[in-house]
Amino acid sequence: MSTIVARSLGWYRVPVVVVAVLASLLLIVPFLVLVATSWTEGSFILFPPQGFSPQWYAEVLTDSRWLESFRLSLWTATVSTAIAAVLGALGALGLTRVRNPVARRWIRTLFILPIALPPIAYAVGLHGVTMDLGFLRGTFVPLILGHALIALPYVFVIVSGGIARIDPALRPAARTLGARWPLILWKIELPALSPYLLSGALFAFVVVFDEVVLAVFLMPPGEQTLPLRMLNASQEAFSPELTAASTLVSVLAVLVLAVIPVSNAVRRRRAGRAAFTRPTERPAALEGVTP
Task: Single out the residue of 245, 31, 58, 36 nearest to residue 237, CA to CA.
Answer: 245
pLDDT digits (tens, 9 = 90+) for 82-121: 999 999 888 888 888 878 888 888 888 888 888 888 888 8
Q: What is the pLDDT of residue 6?
A: 58
Q: What is the pLDDT of residue 291?
A: 46
- Give CA–CA dist 227/217, Å, rounded: 13
Beta strands in 1-60 (DSSP E): none
Q: Burial of 268 by CB count in 10 Å (0-12 exposed, 13-18 middle, 19+ buried)?
A: exposed
What is the longest distance spanned by two Cα atoms in the chain?
Answer: 73
Q: What is the pLDDT of residue 279?
A: 52
For every residue of 134-169, DSSP letters joined together read GGGTTSSHHHHHHHHHHHHHHHHHHHHHHHHHS-TT
**Encoded amino acid at 95, one letter:** L
223 SS3 class? coil
pLDDT digits (tens, 9 = 90+) for 202-237: 888 888 888 888 888 888 888 888 888 888 877 766
Q: Which residues of the chain have pLDDT under 50?
A: 1, 281, 283-286, 288-291
Q: What is the pLDDT of residue 91?
A: 87
**Encoded amino acid at 285, one letter:** A
